[in-house]
């Protein structure tokens, strides 16, 4: 049975998620600026390390900046939660740029995702956490696809997971 405070917490997160998705403001901006700003968020507030390996210079994308910020925050948050109780959390964000495309991956050394969950994790409401909404990855998928990109993952139980986001680069 969920207690009242967890229900309120979940409702708050659901409304916040809806707000972010409801208003879309497409602009052309440097995705590296958004990614580098995440560093400050996580550097001091969590156990372990977040390593950012961005490509040098600007990478312009055409998307909603608030939604992009939410996409990468959700993935980093999941990565941190996946190595809860592990002692040390090592998270690496890596960028690979090819013709017209930027691929951004977030790798954790967490618990991994069991095979039977693979087909469920992007479905809204699917969660294995008592205070989770299960909206995080569903939002990530919606945001990536809205920007003309895609999201997928690789995982090994007990070793960790890597989530990949691919976005078209704007001219």
Residue numbers at the binding site for ligand ATP (CB under 6 A): 13, 74, 78-79, 82, 108, 110-111, 113, 121, 126-129, 132-138, 161
Q: Is 136 in the site for Mg ion (CB under 5 A)?
A: yes
Size of the site for Mg ion (CB under 5 A): 2
Pick what 121 binds: Mg ion, ligand ATP, none; C-beta below 5 to 8 Å, kind-dependent: ligand ATP
- Considering the complex, state which of residue 138 and residue 165 has its C-beta at the smaller distance from ligand ATP: 138
- Residue 122 contacts residue 141 (beta carbons within 8 Å): yes
Helix residue spans in 44-166 (DSSP H): 65-82, 136-146
Q: What are phi and psi of 18, to 5 degrees?
A: -60, -40
Q: Is 142 in the site for Mg ion (CB under 5 A)?
A: no
Q: Is 161 in the site for Mg ion (CB under 5 A)?
A: no
Q: Is 78 in the site for Mg ion (CB under 5 A)?
A: yes
CA-to-CA distance for 125 and 67, rounded, in angstroms? Answer: 19
Structure tokens of 152?
A: 């997928």
The H or E element that residue 14 is part of is helix 4-22
* Per-residue interface string for the shown chain with Mg ion, residues 15-54, x marking contact by CB under 5 A: ----------------------------------------
Contacts for 128-131 with beta carbons within 8 Å, 24 or more apart?
A: 129/81, 130/2, 130/6, 131/6, 131/9, 131/10
Pick what 67 binds: Mg ion, ligand ATP, none; C-beta below 5 to 8 Å, kind-dependent: none
Residues near Mg ion (CB under 5 A):
78, 136
């Amino acid at each position: 049975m969920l207690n009242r405070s967890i229900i309120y917490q979940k409702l708050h997160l659901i409304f916040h998620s809806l707000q972010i998705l409801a208003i879309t403001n497409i602009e052309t901006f440097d995705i590296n600026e958004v990614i580098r700003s995440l560093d400050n968020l996580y550097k001091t507030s969590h156990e372990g390390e977040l390593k950012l390996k961005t490509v040098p210079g600007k990478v312009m994308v055409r998307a909603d900046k608030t939604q992009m910020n939410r996409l990468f925050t959700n993935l980093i948050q999941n990565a941190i939660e996946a190595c809860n109780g592990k002692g040390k959390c090592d998270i690496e964000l890596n960028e690979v740029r090819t013709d017209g495309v930027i691929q951004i991956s977030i790798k954790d050394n967490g618990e991994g995702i069991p095979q039977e969950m693979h087909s469920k994790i992007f479905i809204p409401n699917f969660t294995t956490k008592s205070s989770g909404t299960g909206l995080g990855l569903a939002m990530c998928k919606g945001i990536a696809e809205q920007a003309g990109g895609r999201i997928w993952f690789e995982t090994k139980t007990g070793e960790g997971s890597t989530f990949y986001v691919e976005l078209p680069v704007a001219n």
